């Protein structure tokens, strides 16, 4: 078997066909397992097998493939990964002999993330990545009612397709593929996308918040992007916060630990406040009020 230059390694259970001294092909038998694993930093784009007969090619193509599809044309079998960044495998369905296999690969490009001047950013990477020097990553795995977010620092690599909150010096940080130990990201409330066109999140029963900076009012935090947080548009390689609608009444969360409810209430201290019947209120208790023409929940 041969691989293209820099190609992914192969790990297979294979047998020389017939007498080892006479045969020049390798064979798989029923229930043998073939696995092809991409090298660190690369993705498999396709795999080409050359079988000794058309029947062997058909048997190989009709095997039970995981994370890939296979088609036979004469003695050639073309295997196309569903996700080239992870291993592909097959449980062989019948005897098949082949003379060559070529693994075609492509290098996974790094991803640059800009950390804002306030020292925070979100990221969502299509590959497992090591933590750049000077950067700390967190998942958000809870809200504490109206009082804030539960941030949990992660140790180890950032898993692929995982939203994270980053803290570090302002500037651009570069993430590259890694094969180290992935961090535990259980119950993470950050979702995101690696699609170039971005993604809109609007699941019923969820509130969505986007990381943004409002230096004149509330500072850096997670804000509603649409009224009531019913939807949010997430850019490529970014993450947004998805909170079950019944778990918090906050209209936003500042990264200094306060919520937007706190911020709005503080800003409203010197404002003219009315209850929902139109009566002016000097010392509002907990409830919903009209402040400067906007409905505000007071704690």
Q: How far is CA 248 from its chain centroid?
A: 24
H-helix or E-strand spanning residue 188: none
What is the maximum alpha-carbon separation in the chain?
99
* Alpha carbons 164 and 191: distance in angstroms, whole number: 8
Find out whether 112 and 83 touch, Cβ atoms under 8 Å. Answer: no
Find out whether 226 and 232 touch, Cβ atoms under 8 Å. Answer: yes
Question: Can you list the domains of the chain with their CATH numbers?
Answer: 9-107 (2.60.40), 111-243 (no CATH)
* Alpha carbons 53 and 76: distance in angstroms, whole number: 9
Q: How many CA atoms lie within 13 A of 85 on its CB side?
A: 16
Written as six digits, the tokens of 236 are 């490529």
Written as six digits, the tokens of 285 are 């208790």
Q: How many CA atoms lie within 13 A of 160 on its CB side?
A: 15
Please name every residue paired with 191 in a beta bridge, in sequence order, or none if there are none: 240
Q: Where are the alpha helices (DSSP H) in the chain?
A: 54-61, 260-267
Residue 285 has a pLDDT of 60
Residue 74 has a pLDDT of 97
What string of pLDDT tens digits covers the 299 residues of the chain? 333 433 333 334 344 444 444 555 688 889 998 899 888 788 899 999 999 999 999 999 999 999 999 999 999 999 999 988 888 999 999 988 888 889 999 888 999 999 988 899 999 999 999 999 999 999 998 876 544 788 899 989 999 999 999 999 999 999 999 888 889 898 999 999 999 999 999 999 999 999 988 766 677 888 888 888 999 999 999 999 999 988 777 778 887 655 555 444 444 444 566 676 777 766 666 566 666 555 555 54
Query: Nearest-CA neighbor of 109 among 37, 181, 174?
Result: 174
Global pTM reads: 0.66
Find out whether 72 and 60 touch, Cβ atoms under 8 Å. Answer: yes
Query: Nearest-CA neighbor of 185 among 209, 159, 211?
Result: 159
């Amino acid at each position: 078997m041969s691989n293209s230059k820099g190609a992914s390694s192969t790990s297979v259970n294979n047998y020389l066909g017939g007498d080892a001294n006479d045969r020049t092909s390798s064979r798989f038998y029923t229930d043998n397992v073939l696995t092809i694993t991409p090298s660190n930093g690369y993705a498999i784009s396709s795999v080409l097998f050359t079988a000794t007969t058309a029947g062997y090619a058909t048997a190989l193509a009709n095997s039970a493939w995981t994370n890939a599809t296979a088609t036979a044309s004469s003695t050639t079998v073309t295997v196309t990964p569903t996700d080239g960044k992870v291993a592909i495998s097959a449980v062989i369905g019948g005897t098949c002999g082949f003379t060559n296999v070529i693994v075609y690969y492509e290098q996974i490009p790094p991803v640059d993330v800009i950390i804002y001047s306030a020292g925070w950013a979100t990221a969502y990477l299509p590959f497992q990545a090591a933590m750049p020097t000077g950067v700390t990553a967190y998942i958000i795995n809870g809200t504490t009612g109206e009082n804030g977010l539960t941030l949990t620092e992660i140790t180890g690599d950032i898993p692929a397709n995982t939203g994270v909150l980053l803290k570090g010096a302002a500037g651009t940080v570069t993430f590259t593929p890694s094969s180290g130990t992935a961090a535990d990201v259980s119950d993470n409330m950050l979702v995101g996308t690696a699609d170039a066109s971005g993604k809109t999140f609007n699941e019923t029963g969820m509130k969505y918040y986007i990381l943004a900076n409002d230096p004149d009012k509330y500072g850096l935090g997670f804000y509603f992007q649409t009224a009531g947080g019913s939807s949010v548009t997430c850019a490529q390689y970014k993450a947004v916060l998805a909170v079950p609608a019944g778990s918090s009444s906050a209209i936003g969360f500042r990264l200094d630990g306060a919520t937007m409810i706190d911020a709005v209430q503080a800003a409203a201290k010197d404002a003219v406040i009315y209850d929902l019947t139109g009566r002016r209120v000097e010392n509002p208790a907990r409830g919903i009020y009209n402040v400067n023409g906007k409905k505000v929940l007071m704690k």
